[in-house]
A and B are shown apart, each in its own frame.
Chain A
Amino acid sequence: MKIVGIAACTSGIAHTYIAKEKLMKAAKELGHEIHIETQGTIGTEDELTDLDIKNADIVIVAADINVGGKERFAGKKILNIPTNIAIKSPKSIIKKIQADLGL
């Protein structure tokens, strides 16, 4: 499964990056490809490429705030979650997506 996503929290200095790490680690352990963009207070980092998005099976938006650039995901399957869910149970989320999409 190919996953892309965005992480963004309120302060934009801690949870954003923890959520990203957790999702990346869980996806890799379960054998999926993943690319997560962070929208912290410092700005957007590791920006998703058009190719990443085009090839992705699912978009995970792990955010407590309104993220920018959502129009890039027109026509994609999207899962919106708060960062704390991504931090607490990244593997369960990815398994659930896999089950729901039947991939």
Chain B
Amino acid sequence: MLKKLQLKKHAMTGISYMLPLVVTAGLLIAIGNLSGGSVIKNYKEAYSIADALVSLGVFGMGLIVPVIAGAISYSIADRPGIAPGLMMGLIANAIGAGFLGGMLGGYIVGYFVQYLKNNLKVPVWAQGLMPMMILPLISTMIVGLLMFYVIGTPIVWLTATLTEVLKGLQGGSRFIFGLGMGAMAAFDFGGPVNKVASLFADGLLVEGIYGPEAVKILASMVPPFGVALSWIIARKKYSKEEAENIKIAFPMGVAMITEGVIPIAARDPIRVIAACSIGAAIGGGFSMLWNVGSPVPSGGMFIVPAMENPIGFLAALSIGTVITAAILVLTKKPAADDSFFDEEDESVDLSELNITDQIR
């Protein structure tokens, strides 16, 4: 049953459509930040080219969830799946369900369109309306409302609970607070859990408390740095394809954009998420312990000189990076496909491959 659903193939199709967007948007933000730009808040006032580049990158980041949802749904249900999938992604963005919410929405709406396509019988005169109107409208309406009212509820509840827990943690020791903050901020690479930690840090920044903000910055940089370091130590653990992704993720990490790690995490989620969260947690703990603080909410390496105790920040960042890399090196299995052009075939079990005359 699960094999028949081809979950992985659809996720891979989604990722393949999303990759150029992640890279373009991430690099636009990095280039814009480097040249001193920030997001344009009021388009009626004058803005610089750097501001325009950052804003364009932010638009692109906003498209990531709709595109992965749309592409997953397209992969499942072909063209009638595109419009409903894109809209499920927009809902995931709006209700704060993030990347995982978007993927879930894409799967549900894709299978639903496919189900309707196979089971909904309409009179001949209405068949032309099926792909154009009936399938997208019915599926978008039903799954869309489901996203708003059912799928959104546990995520909003989760957000509220986590915020409470975070507030409670603040009374405890600084190290433990940093630990929790770091783990949350790194956990889903810019997704909803990260956004809760991020919002919390931004809120405290207004109160003049700079510590959590530094942990947030650290936790966004540990995943790309840790993954890159583990690749340098043990190249055999990553395929050539992953290596290409890492080469892009690292410079994005310098600018505090953690999303470059998503393609690596999507292939091996448990190990990569665990390694990144643990590394960022311990780095965050030390950052709090050493009274590191950042008055600037984002900017990565470029705003380190502006921090309180920048040396402490770099030390905590290094500790987190090394821990993430060490866990990855120790736990990741070697990538299988690094020998490309050797003459002889590797022995692979082909007995399960069957020639078919069914198109699928």
A-side interface residues toward B, CB under 8 Å?
9-15, 18, 21-22, 41, 58, 64-66, 70-71, 73-81, 84-85, 87-93, 96-97, 100-101
Contacts and interface: CB of A to CB of B under 8 A. Distances in A.
Contacts of A58: 355
A93 B350 contact: yes
B359 A78 contact: yes
A12 B16 contact: yes
Interface residues of B, number: 31
B12 A65 contact: yes
Contact of A10 (B16, B337, B345, B347): B16
Interface in B45-96: 74-75
A66 to B, nearest CB: 4
Contacts of B207: none
B118 interface: no
A10 B241 contact: yes
A74 B358 CA distance: 8
Contacts of B345: 88-92
B12 A80 contact: no
B355 A13 contact: no
B164 interface: no
Contacts of A73: 359
Contact of B358 (A15, A65, A78): A78
A97 to B, nearest CB: 7
A75 B357 contact: yes
A14 B244 contact: yes
Contacts of B336: 84
Q: Name which of B16, B240, B346 has the most chain A CB atoms within 10 A of its CB.
A: B16
A23 to B, nearest CB: 12
A15 B12 CA distance: 13
Contact of B357 (A11, A71, A78, A91): A78
B1 interface: no
B9 A65 contact: yes
B358 to A, nearest CB: 7
Contacts of A78: 355-359
A88 B346 contact: yes
Contacts of B337: 15, 84, 87-88
A94 B356 CA distance: 15
Contacts of A13: 241, 244
B25 to A, nearest CB: 16
B43 interface: no
A13 B20 CA distance: 11
